[in-house]
Amino acid sequence: MKQNKKKVALIAGSQGVIGLNLIKHLSTQDDWEIIGLSRRGGVSTDKVRHIAVDLLDPKDTYQKLSGLSRVTHLFYTAYQDKPTWAELVEPNVSMLVNAVNAIEKVADKLQHISLMQGYKVYGAHLGPFKTPARETDGEHMPPEFNVDQQKFLEQCQQNKSWSWSAIRPSVVGGFGLGNPMNLAMVIAVYASMSKELGIPLRFPGKPGAYDKLLEMTDADLLAKATVWAATNPNCANQAFNINNGDLFRWNDMWPKFARYFEMEIAPPLPMLLNVIMADKEKLWNEMVEKHHLAPHTYQEVSSWIFGDFVFAWDYDMIADGSKARRFGFHEFVDTEKMFYDIFDDLRDRKVIP
């Protein structure tokens, strides 16, 4: 039987947690060629070609993408962090617009554009929202760049041969250094430094956050779901919540973390990690030398602002993932095991003791 021609994936944001795991997953598939886009580029291999590009610059974007005529799938996972919700809109919408405009001009066999979103679409970042959130829920007061990005794709797709999908994970768990949104790294480094100081492990979030329902999205599971939606015709022009499939509360999970790190547990104590951990770089450098860790800087392993953001959720943070199951995606991940696997991986990589 004659094999189909290879699909060509263009991954924007290829150095982030989501992009890296998407590359890892696609690399296991024989029918994909992979091209990664990021600001700092990367080392190309026989599996992946990396291109350094400034997606904020339309000229640079068009120049760097002008030779990519064989791209069939654009996976957009790029993100630029800003201090306020309003400031997030312009750069993050512009990067998507520049990437789509550039690839549309040259890739006449483009089949699909996959957009990575999140629960901010439902207003989850603003305060208590309707849970479980569903893909059909109404919009909330702007600004919100995820919503604007999807509206751009919907308008751009009119009368085109390609389709789009919007993937909405919860907090993503996976490996990635220097990432502003890495909760597992926050927990692992915070626990390791607490242990080094000889103090018990305390939940640092808001008092009301300790017993609320949450869920996570494993980065490998997310990669599989993203590719599934991008290659399944039934998923064309649809949004999907993607989560592990189970729920947890910090008051149950936190003592398990303490046992994993062989620490004592103590009652929660509200504190802003971005403030309380600001003077700990010297301690981290001492730990790197003492435990022969990989020479990562304190900045590379710190995502304290994101930790403060997540640990402040004193309301349920859950979305209904049944639509993806109804459309045919049935994989799931045990969240507790996911955390342990990430912690094990950080130890294997000598990121933490």
Q: Residue 79 in contact with residue 38, Cβ under 8 Å?
A: no
- pLDDT tens-digit map of 72-86: 999 999 999 999 999
- pLDDT tens-digit map of 52-110: 999 999 999 999 999 999 999 999 999 999 999 999 999 999 999 999 999 999 999 99
For each of the domains in the chain, give its residue range(s) and CATH number, in order of start: 7-170+217-242 (3.40.50.720), 173-215+247-318+332-346 (no CATH)
Secondary structure (3-state) at 126? coil
Matching residue, tokens 């919100």: 144
Give residue 177's pLDDT: 75
Phi, psi of 252, rounded to the nearest 5 degrees: -95, -40
Output the pTM of the full model. Answer: 0.96
**Run of H or E residues at 114:** strand 112-116
Give residue 4's pLDDT: 53
Give residue 84's pLDDT: 95
Low-confidence ranges of the chain (pLDDT < 70): 1-4, 178, 180
Matching residue, tokens 């309707």: 130
- CA nearest neighbour of 49 among 5, 10, 97: 10
Secondary structure (3-state) at 48? strand
